Amino acid sequence: MKLAPFGLGYSLYRGNLHGHSHHSDGETSPEAVVEAYAQLGYDFTCLSDHLWKDKRFAAETVLDNSGLDRPDFITIASAELHCHGKRYDQDGLWHIVANGLPVDFAPAQDDETVDAMISRAIDAGAYVTIAHPEWYSLTHDEAQQVTHAHGVEIYNHSCAISSNRGSGIAIADALLHDGVRMSFTATDDSHFKPYDHGGGWVMVAAEDLSADAIVSALKAGRHYSTTGPNFHHLALEDNTLIIGCSAVNSIIISAEGHLARDLQGANLTYAEIDLSALKSSYFRVTIRDHAGRMAWSNPYFFDDLR
């Protein structure tokens, strides 16, 4: 069987799920953000400006992005939501990205907990992800409070280049061991400081290029995350995983504990890897090119596939 996002007959759309503009603490206008991503060949972007009652870096409203769409490029109403209660953060604030919000979505009240805020965003229709876990030392017990979110940001480009804390894969693996079924995202978190856009994105298999179709596809896990390489094909036939991809030097299957399978070489574009002896409830695929750029599949649980 083919593994999502492949085999569905849908186009793959390239998009950024996390970014900022003048509406909060970004350094350029929403119009310029859209132009920059359109120039890079993206299909969509999300202006996820900070939503919180602190004018130093946040807005108290979700940006109304109607009017920014183009015939072949869309924006999805989004926000980075904040509330009190995060340890190991100088402001004590949680950071949660919500894509596909109504523009009347209100900032958290002072006493709203992170789990209540996430539930409110899910109820409002959004695809909700735990932002930049490594950047502010999200602990496993904190992550266990927010397992009703849809996904984890496993690569945040701005955090990678500005603080060398751009990963979220370790906390994502910990949650997978807990049996939590979450999808992954790679994002820019762009503020339009130099070099902070075009570094991490998702490829989403959606029925069409509309906000509703993209958000539905993300909730269903019909996407992969990347900083450069592309998957072209993922399938499981009996116990053999078949991978087609752009030219890479490593194809890696990660599973429970330290379990892994890997293939190393120059310009690998295809692999068949036997998973029959892999004693794990799940696996995920990473490919890595000669420049160290990576792409990550979402995790696949065997009991969903059989």
Q: How far, in Å, CA of 200 to CA of 19, rounded?
A: 11
Smallest distance from the beta carbon of 294 to Zn ion, in angstroms? Answer: 21
Smallest distance from the beta carbon of 142 to Zn ion, in angstroms? Answer: 15
Which one, 93 or 268, has the nearer CB to Zn ion?
93
Q: Binding Zn ion by CB under 5 A: which of 49, 142, 188, 189? A: 189
Which one, 136 or 231, has the nearer CB to Zn ion?
136
CA nearest 15: which of 167, 127, 146, 112? 127
Smallest distance from the beta carbon of 158 to Zn ion, in angstroms? Answer: 7
- For the chain, percent helix, then strand, then coil, each to nearest 5? 20, 35, 45
CA nearest 14: which of 44, 36, 35, 48? 44
Subset of residues 127 to 146 that bind Zn ion, contact rule: CB under 5 A: 131
Smallest distance from the beta carbon of 36 to Zn ion, in angstroms? Answer: 16
3-state DSSP call for residue 185?
A: strand
Asked if 95 touches Zn ion (CB under 5 A), the answer is yes
Judged by CB under 5 A, how many residues of this single chain contact Zn ion? 4
Smallest distance from the beta carbon of 80 to Zn ion, in angstroms? Answer: 5
DSSP code of 86?
Answer: -
Which one, 164 or 267, has the nearer CB to Zn ion?
164
Q: Which residue's Cβ lies closest to Zn ion?
A: 95
| Helix (H) / strand (E) containing 215 | helix 211-219
Asked if 80 touches Zn ion (CB under 5 A), the answer is yes
Which one, 5 or 166, has the nearer CB to Zn ion?
166
> What residues make contact with Zn ion under the rule CB under 5 A?
80, 95, 131, 189
